[in-house]
Amino acid sequence: MSDYTSFSVGGMADVMACPMDEDDLRKLLHFAECKGFPIYVLGAGTNLLVKDGGIRGIVLNLSEGFRDIVFRGEDSLEVGAGVSLSKVVTIYKEKGFSGLEFAVGIPGSVGGAVAMNAGAYGGEMKDVVEGVEIMGRGGKVRFIQGSNVGFSYRGSKLPDGAVILRVRLAFKRCNVEEVEKKMIKYKAMRKKTQAMNMPNAGSIFKNPGGESAGILIEEAGLKGMRCGGAKISEVHANYIVNLGDANAGDILALIARARDKVYQLKGIVLEPEIKVIGED
C-alpha cells in the first residue's frame, strides 16, 4: 500500500480491485458479501495511514473507472468519485466558477473529499455538494441530497457499506480573474504554512474547539521531533513527514507522543483527522 498512499508507507493488501463501471462494482460487492470479505474503499490515499501489517480483505480503487465529468443544467457539475479534486478545481478556475476556491492545493479524489468533508480557509465540501450518488447493499444505486449526507467537521455519515459513485457539485458563475486571484492567494498560503516537499498525509489532527492543533503541538515543544524515518514537520507541527525510510510504526509513535504531550500540558485530547487502517 506504500505505492497508493501519500505517506508512502503501508504493508501489503490481500487484493486491490479496480472496477471500471457500476456493473463491475455490483458484482464485486456481491462476491465480497458472499465470501465474507471486508472491503475498504480507497480514495487517493492522501488522508490515510496504512499500518505495516497491511490490509486483510479487498481494497476498492475507483480511480480507474469512475472518472466521468458531466454538466447538469446551468449551475451544477456531476463528477465521478475517482476524479481528482485538483482537476475539478482547475475546471472551476478555467470556467470562472466560484465555490471551490478553498480546495486549491488539496490532494485526493472527489469521492474521498466528500467522505471526509475536506475543507480549508473557511470553506468545506458540504458548501458545494448538491447530492451524492451511492451504491449500497445489494448493488442498489440511489441519490442522496447534500442536506442528508450528514456532513460534520472533517466527516460525513453515509449509510453503512455505501460506495460513492458520483458527486453533484453546485457552482456560481463569477469573473475568471476573481476566481483565479483567490486561488493564487490560497495556494501561496498553503505553500508558506504547510509541509509540501516530503511525503505526508496532510493535517494529522482535527483542530479542537477553536484551537489550532499545530500551535498546540508546537507549544508542547514537539516541532521537529523524529522517530525513525518520520518527523513532526518544522514548517507546520500538525504535519508528520516521511524523511524517506519511515514506516507506519514511526508515524504512529509520533502521533501518540503528540497526543500525550498536548493532553499533559493543555488538558486537550487531540482527535486524529487521518484514517488509520490495517494490521500491526
pLDDT reading at 247 higher than 80: yes
Task: Give per-residue pLDDT as tens, 87-123.
Answer: 999 999 898 899 999 999 888 999 999 999 999 888 9
- Active-site residue, selected from the candidate residues 124, 203, 233, 259: 203
Report the candidate in 264, 270, 209, 210 with the shortest Cα–Cα distance to residue 237.
Answer: 270
Q: Let me know the angle formed at the C-alpha of 153 by 90 and 164, rounded to the nearest 5 degrees.
A: 60
C-alpha cell at 88: 475539478
- Is 203 tagged catalytic? yes
What class has domain 69-179? alpha beta
Contacts of 204 (CB under 8 A, 6+ apart): 213, 238, 239, 240, 255, 258, 272, 273, 274
pLDDT digits (tens, 9 = 90+) for 2-27: 999 999 999 999 999 999 999 999 99
Active-site position among 154, 166, 168, 259: 154
Closest C-alpha to 6, from 257, 216, 275: 275
CATH number assigned to the domain covering 2-61: 3.30.43.10
Q: Does the pLDDT value for residue 39 go beyond 90?
A: yes
What's the average model confidence in pLDDT over 57-83?
Answer: 93
Question: How crowded is residue 152: how many other Cβ atoms within 10 Å of its Cβ?
Answer: 12
| Domain pair 2-61 / 213-277, same fold | no
Write down the domain spans for the chain.
2-61, 69-179, 213-277
Fold designation for 213-277: 3.90.78
C-alpha cell, 36 = 465474507
Q: Which of 124, 130, 133, 273 is catalytic?
A: 273
pLDDT-based confidence at residue 236 (cuts at 50, 70, 90)? very high
* Residue of 250, 248, 257 whose CA lies nearest to 275: 248
Is the pTM higher than 0.85? The answer reads yes
